[in-house]
Amino acid sequence: MIPVAFDYAAPTTIDEALDSLAAAGERDVKVLGGGQSLLPVLRMRLAAPELLVDLSRVAELRGVRDDGDAIVLGAMTTHDEVVRDPLVRQHALLLSAAAATVADPQVRHRGTFGGNLVHCDPAGDMPAAALALDAQMVVAGHAGRRTVEAADFFEDLFQSAVHDGELLVEVRVPKHTGWGAHYEKFQRVAQAWSIVGVAATVRAEGDTIVEAKVGLTNMGATPVRARAVEEALVGQPASDEAVRAAAARAAEGTDPPTDANADADYRRHLAGVLTRRAVLAAAGTA
Amino acid sequence: MTAEAQAPESRELGRPRRRKEDQRLITGRTRWTDNISLPGMLHLAVLRSPLAHARLERVDVSAARQAPGVVAAFTGTDFAEDFGSLPTAWTVSEDLKVPPHFPVTRDEVRYVGDAVAVVVATSRAAAVDALEAIDVSYAELPAVVDMTAALADDSPLVHTDLGTNRCFSYHEDHGDYEATKARAEVVLRRRYVNQRLIPNAMEPRSVVVDPTATDQFTIWSATQVPHFVRIFLSLVVGVPEHRIRVIAPDVGGGFGSKLDVYAEEALCLALARRLGKPVKWTATRSEDYLATIHGRDLIEDVEITAMRDGRMLGLKVELLSDMGAYLQLLTPSIALLGRYMYPAIYKFEAHSFDCVGVFTTKTPTDAYRGAGRPEATFLIERAVDDLAAELGIDALELRRRNWIRHEEFPFTTVAGLTYDSGNYEAATARATELFDYDGLRREQSERRERNDSVQLGIGVSTYTEMCGLAPSRWLADTGYAAGGWERATVRLTPLGKAEVVIGTSPHGQGHATTFSQVAADALGVAFDDVEVVVNDTATVPWGLDTYGSRSLVVGGTAIQQAAEKVVEQARVLAAHLLEADVSDVEFDSGTFRVRGTDASKTIQELAFASFGAHSLPEGSEPLLDAHATVDPETFSYPHGTHLCAVEVDTETGASHIRSYVCVDDVGTVVNPLVVEGQVHGGVAQGIAQALYEHGMYDSDGNLTTGTLVDYLVPGAPDLPSFVTDRTETPSTTNPLGVKGVGEAGAIASTPAVVNAVVDALRPYGVTDIEMPCTPQRVWRAVQGGRAGETAEQDQHWPEDVQSGGLPTDRGAQ
């Protein structure tokens, strides 16, 4: 309920924020985005950082812009903004679909896209969508900026490629204009985390799927691409039968956890069912 | 001078009044215990055991005492002179074992959350910070998590001194069950698990104690039972009863979890006495999960003997009830409270009942919405649906062949309770009509025939329950320490307003509204002219508080009777002032009139005249003011028919409630909106048990569902729209004709939902899904993952009628 006492910095620019991180030296520091994951952890005293760097006043971290063949989302863009933003809906519909399933309206108005990615919760919804869309994460540090491919960004359970002294500042998402998209989330109550989630986006010509990208949530320590499904779908009709056959391969190569909600074998089964539903919905044929 | 008041527009009984309380509650213009802040107030924080079972080798609070802001820190042994053991009020059997239960443990910790030491500081943050400076050395002992294992000879003991984990054994026979078995054509045997639940009142527990003078204290507590708290804290802490005032300000829900006297209440009182300053403690949600009582947690074995035509003969019930580590106020009584309700609405010839209470190293259990009756209703309504399926008889038809027909009331059941009234046929007819029972059965057949991946199941629950706790003599016979009466005072103020002082203690039920309606009709005053005074032992000196759907049945009756006494006082005064004979004065809608004349006085005029006392009849006293104390002679028996249709996605195991219809008979309805709200909330809680909620422990005794992330309380998106309706068969045992509605929804709905899930899967050979019916459990059942267990349970069906005994030997000490 009451966090251990900490120092607090509220920078207004990215450079100031990086200065705050650099000045922290050896101290245990946490970056505060929307706080939807961090604050409960602090209040239950599961973490006790000595310094919090609050990004909520850094205006340049917010918003979505068009950048030619990609759209760029600021790391502090809220889930609700991702749900509603016209550029996202036009060019990266999958992100909007996934964000719409995050928790409840209060959380979506506070929680941020970038925070969700950096947090690397295996049951978080946005990483699988970002992975499926081949997003590129722009990470800033005192040495400058570097770009990390989504495939390399989610390193392990609760561990991203953003290291000490760095910030995720923006996410470049290649335009998937005209792609159908659907995020199929399986959970026990509306506000609960995903037991399994499937992020699917599909480009079709006529009735034929010509390209498909599928990301899986909570099928391992990090989000995974269902590559076998993607390959099997290419050239197939968006029919129940064809998609069912492809989706049956969803769990190939995954190592899902066993927890109170689901054993690993049940998760593997769910991945197949949910992938079929997600792909069919994405293709607009559900 | 004439008192002004509105004349009532019409009768209040039956009007859907919006709740008087809601504007204040919704807009936050209210006061919860945690809002109370007093000059010089100190804050209590409690160090809780992270282990389920351990001996305390050392508890060192010296460093905590030096921490910033800390005023004092204490271990359990420091309190040896401050208080005794926390109370248990219900001696359910002669062999009941009551282990010492100190607010801070002295020798061992016996569940995760058991209090080890406390800190008092000038701020809450300082108190919480200082807990980390307390040095505790634990010698770990084995956890005792599973009830069946706990009863084995070689089980580790929760309380070594008791020599057993068996808290009590209880047996009761009505009729000759074995004789019914000898002639039965079929015997149904089932084991149902009624899982542990965490009550989750919206407001966590909270207490503030103010030492107002030497050995005089005002206590604010988020409690359902301020009068109990006063009595028991006096006994536990040794402050004389008349030096304690307990106030329950606005209380944000309880569901039974605040029907208790808790360690922190005793601690704050003892600390306020020691330190001479106000002391506050408020639970965090996580603390509430560990240190507020849990509910249910029973293993329920049942046998029903029957004939092939569906006639049910005998009912045998054997329960294991998990006490947790200690006995709270009512812990051992909860499973037993339901013992007369297992035969429910059915005409059994014999009923055999066994219950064993078991200590485990888990949070104590106690009353949770329904307290004993949901456990009974779940067992009997699940079993009747199962029997119907096995006999190939429609679930409703099987009930019709066995239930008490409306013309048979009053009816004494095999368990010895006399149900005064009811009409199961009418409620069921209305429910099936609203539900489109036949149409849904057709759809079910069609889905089965085409092997649809989404199967439809229909679940029935024709429940009854006993409300109106309780006749004092009945309570005495069952070993309860107190009575079950209720006390009301009704008085008219000088300007003709009515004040109703009532000893039931609202915490969300809408008492101010409902009781205003009762009093307004009885006195002939306007609804808005009634003030309901509650929740403070100084202004409401007598009362037995709120639980067991008793407030309207017992308290409402007391209000009605006190109001009638006031009317009679006023009638005498009216006759005097109007120079008429008392027998000639008629009373209607707030006006006293001399029969056959225009001469009249309003009750407001009489209130002022009585206050002025200028001219009173011979021998009468000033003021219109009367009380009534009602001790009910018997219980009331609400009933109803709940029907649930569930779509089960056999690919994922997800269960989706397609429609939910309930027709409840709660007798006369004072306020339909309040009743509707109670039904909605209760049904939601019952559905939650069926599908979502489960307080789980690992084998080391850790609560693994310790937050709202893991303990799944459904929200509005997870629940269907409820279709509700009522039949009204008035109770004949109280003058209002009311029966109580606070628990009905929670009692009725759980078996309806589980029956529906199981019904959907019967073609797959499924006969049970353990609660909560999680997607994984349902999916595994569909996959036949449990086929072995299911087949084994059924193997003696239907020819084998030999005595089964128990799956585990409960006779072993």
With contact defined as beta carbons under 8 Å apart, do B534 and B224 qualify? no
Q: Smallest Cβ distance to A266: which of B710, B715, B779?
A: B779
Interchain CB distance below 8 Å, B651 and A193: no
With contact defined as beta carbons under 8 Å apart, do A115 and A131 qualify? no
Residues in chain B closer than 8 A to A2 (CB atoms): 124-125, 128-129
B74-85 residues labelled b (16+ CB within 10 A) or e (exposed):
bbbebbeebbeb
Q: Which residues pair with residue A199 across a beta bridge?
A: A183, A215
Q: Closest-CA residue in chain B for A2?
A: B125
Residues in chain B closer than 8 A to A266 (CB atoms): 653, 776, 779-780
d(CA B484, CA B729): 24
Closest-CA distance, B652 to chain A, in angstroms, reads: 6
Those residues with Cβ within 8 angstroms of residue A15's Cβ, 6 or more apart along the chain or in another chain: none
Residues in chain A closer than 8 A to B776 (CB atoms): 261-263, 266
With contact defined as beta carbons under 8 Å apart, do B563 and B516 qualify? no
Question: For residue range A104-151, what is the model confidence (pLDDT) as tens digits?
Answer: 999 999 999 999 999 999 999 999 999 999 999 999 999 999 999 999
The tokens for A150 are 């989504």
Residues in chain B closer than 8 A to A191 (CB atoms): 715
Closest-CA distance, A192 to chain B, in angstroms, reads: 7
Chain B interface, Cβ < 8 Å to A: 124-125, 128-129, 284-286, 651-654, 692, 696, 704-705, 707, 709-710, 712-715, 717-718, 774-776, 779-780
Interchain CB distance below 8 Å, A188 and B775: yes
B270-287 residues labelled b (16+ CB within 10 A) or e (exposed):
bbbbbeebbbbbbbbebb
Q: How sure is the predictor about A285, in pLDDT bands with cuts at 50, 70 and 90? A: low
Q: Closest-CA residue in chain B for A258?
A: B776
> Which regions in chain B score pLDDT beneath 50?
1-5, 7, 785-813
* DSSP 8-state code for residue A152: H
Interchain CB distance below 8 Å, B129 and A186: no
- Does A6 contact chain B (CB < 8 Å)? no
Interchain CB distance below 8 Å, A186 and B696: no
Interchain CB distance below 8 Å, B776 and A262: yes
Q: Closest-CA residue in chain A for B708?
A: A192
- Does A172 contact chain B (CB < 8 Å)? no
Residues in chain A closer than 8 A to B125 (CB atoms): 2, 5
Q: Is residue A197 classed as helix, strand or coil in its secondary structure? A: strand
Residue B9 has a pLDDT of 58
Question: For residue range A90-100, what is the model confidence (pLDDT) as tens digits?
Answer: 999 999 999 99
Interchain CB distance below 8 Å, A1 and B129: no
Q: Smallest Cβ distance to A260: which of B692, B704, B775?
A: B704
- Percent of chain A clearing pLDDT 70 (strictly above): 99
Q: How sure is the predictor about A194, in pLDDT bands with cuts at 50, 70 and 90? A: very high
Residue B125 has a pLDDT of 96
Q: Smallest Cβ distance to A1: which of B284, B653, B775?
A: B284
Using a cut of 0.90, tell me whether the model's pTM lies above it: yes
Residue B10 has a pLDDT of 75
Interchain CB distance below 8 Å, B125 and A2: yes
Q: Which residue has the tokens 């489109």?
A: B436
* Helix, strand, coil shares, percent, chain A, to 5: 35, 25, 40
Interchain CB distance below 8 Å, A189 and B125: no
Residues in chain B closer than 8 A to A189 (CB atoms): 692, 712-715, 717-718
- Does A46 contact chain B (CB < 8 Å)? no
Those residues with Cβ within 8 angstroms of residue B296's Cβ, 6 or more apart along the chain or in another chain: B194, B195, B196, B197, B365, B368, B374, B375, B689
Residues in chain B closer than 8 A to A273 (CB atoms): 651-652
Q: Closest-CA residue in chain A for B695?
A: A260
With contact defined as beta carbons under 8 Å apart, do B683 and B746 qualify? yes
Closest-CA distance, B284 to chain A, in angstroms, reads: 6
Helical residues (DSSP H) of B15-145, grouped into ranges: 22-26, 62-65, 124-131
Interchain CB distance below 8 Å, B129 and A5: yes
Question: For residue range B295-330, what is the model confidence (pLDDT) as tens digits?
Answer: 999 999 999 999 999 999 999 999 999 999 999 999
Best of B285, B651, B698, B702 to substitute, by most chain A Cβ atoms within 10 angstroms, is B651
d(CA B554, CA B542): 14
